[in-house]
Structure 1
Amino acid sequence: MKPHIICHMIASLDGSLHPSRYTASPDGTRAEWSSLYEHIHNDFAGDGWIVGRVTMAEMSKAGAHPPADAGKVDRPYHVAQTGTGSYAVALDPSGKLHFSKPDIGGDHVVVLLGHDVADSHLAELAADGVSYIVAETADMDLGRMLEVLNREFAIRRLLLEGGAGINGSFFAAGLVDELSLLVAPALDGRAANQGFVEFGESGLAGKMQLSLKSCEALAHGLVHLRYAVG
């Protein structure tokens, strides 16, 4: 059984994920929008959150430091800690993330890795107290990896807060149960602006259906939209 997945995002009216590029708003600041986003994140009372490699790299900020002797490593998963209260999950197919400690802001780190990741990288993660799950097939089966998160770490509700690529992968695989979208009263306007979900040239047409659950006007011009995904 997989966790209940809520994709929780904030975006401009034209879909941008980068508040630093938004137009200004007379009714709010980027800091206030971020604070409301985090408040709703906490209200969801998730057991963890998941992001992609690029987003996690901004938080982990560590370099490679593999142990001199990798020795025997655990596959397909290694559980360093359980019962930590909350988990920071990262999707890192190529094994490029490194950590100097086993948590992000107190949330224990679990990394989802590709099938061909080197034993030396797994040994590094284990030595740093980080948990991991390695794909058992060449194509990462996200559904099966989510089942491991549920079974081994008791993650029942997971907040998907990644970039467009990871969000698109989860939507296309039919793994998202709900979309929580905060729309900021701002525009990006760049020709290269990318929305909060993307899945290559084929897009997501016909792959899912959204049903509006609620629409709420919040402070500072934000609108909170919630959709069931089916």
Structure 2
Amino acid sequence: MKYITQYSEISCVDDSGNEIGKVTFPETEKGVFDIRHTEVSENMQGRGIASGLVRRAIAEICLRGGEVRASCSYAENYIRKHGLRPAVICHMVTSIDGKVTGDFLYSEKGIAVSEVYYEINRRIKGDAFACGRVTMESSFTNGFRPDLSEFEGAEIPKGDFIARKHGYYAVSFDTMGKVGWTDSLIHDDDEGYDNCHIIEVITENTPEKMLAYYRKIGVSYIFAGREEIDIKLALNKLYSAFGIKKLLLEGGSIINGAFLREGLVDGLSIVTAPIIARSGDKPLFEGSDMNEFQLLSSQVMENGAVWSMYGM
């Protein structure tokens, strides 16, 4: 099967090119899109096509920064069951053999291609970017651990802490709340990351003294699970509490794989460096299952990089 997106319509066609399903979502007001009609051929019903169409319609609306409405009963029921979440684009730089960590990133060619990646990041900038704890620490905090002694025995209000609304966010998936931020904003030479308000996605097992610390420095946090992060719940909260509609997922391989296994990756933006990495380096998706994507575009960039965009 293949999905074809036009401005206000997504069609599903079989291998012979015959249409077997369709969803329409016209723009009824400026920036407001109404999912009005979903249909699937009678002989193809019960195969997940309708849910796939609605999911793709919601993602497409979010990528446009639009507001989702649903006047057809199937879409209403889908949203009631799954909620609304940002469209997730996994944006990564890889070697030819699909690795995302290792010495190849620090070679002369790897550094040059990484600059291409960052330029593309600025070009396709969404409402937020997201990384796992290890990536956040290596990229922004250098593993800093704050002194929490003043917060021993602190009593913290229950629930999420929304410190502020902002134009752009850095979302840290950090199960136990370990990332030692020193400010509520990221300060970086790259304008694609500078001035992002930090949101920690944590579990209920996060120590209260760390919550008190985050509150003191103005870092927002949301709870998503008791012991392990419920990614779907986290995305629902990021959408509803912060208005995040387009999220760039930027590694590492463990969190990328977790999103993919949950069916929460809507597209790929892959910048491939003309380098073969070492065999022990980590892959784009750790522990992934087989998933099919559609090639939307591919461009040869500077320094031998190839930028490929994939959709569901």
Alignment root-mean-square deviation, CA: 1.9
- Structure-2 change in CA distance of 1:110 and 1:183 (3 Å): same
SS in 1 for 2:214: helix
Q: 1:119: which partner in 2?
A: 208
Q: In the alignment, does 2:86 pair up with 1:32?
A: no
Residue 47 of structure 1, aligned match among 127, 132, 156: 127
* Counterpart contact for 2:93–2:270, Cα < 8 Å: yes
Could you report, residue by residue, the CA deviation over 1:77-123 in whole angstroms, capped at 9, with x for unpaired residues? 101111x2211111110221111111112111101112211111111
Residue 141 of structure 2, aligned match among 43, 56, 60: 60
Q: 2:175: which partner in 1?
A: 93
The number of aligned residues is 219
The whole-number CA distance in structure 2 between the counterparts of 1:94 and 1:53 is: 9
What percent of counterpart residues are identical? 30
- Structure-2 change in CA distance of 1:35 and 1:99 (3 Å): same
Query: What is the identity, as a one-letter code, of the residue corresponding to 1:216?
Result: Q
- For residues 126-137 of structure 1, the aligned pairs below 5 Å read 126-137=215-226
* Counterpart contact for 2:295–2:310, Cα < 8 Å: yes
The whole-number CA distance in structure 1 between the counterparts of 2:248 and 2:106 is: 27
SS in 1 for 2:200: strand
* Counterpart contact for 1:60–1:104, Cα < 8 Å: no
The whole-number CA distance in structure 2 between the counterparts of 1:77 and 1:60 is: 23
Residue 149 of structure 1, aligned match among 235, 238, 246: 238
Q: 1:191: which partner in 2?
A: 279
The structure having more radius of gyration, on CA atoms, is 2
Once the two structures are TM-superposed, the CA of residue 24 in structure 1 deviates from its matched residue by 6.0
More helix by share: 2
Mind listing any 5+ residue stretches in structure 2 that lack a counterpart?
Answer: 1-83, 188-194
The whole-number CA distance in structure 1 between the counterparts of 2:272 and 2:167 is: 29
Q: Does 1 or 2 have the higher relative contact order (CA < 8 Å, sep 6+)?
A: 1
- For residues 194-209 of structure 1, the aligned pairs below 5 Å read 194-199=282-287, 203-205=288-290, 208-209=291-292
* Counterpart contact for 1:113–1:133, Cα < 8 Å: yes
* Counterpart contact for 2:96–2:272, Cα < 8 Å: yes
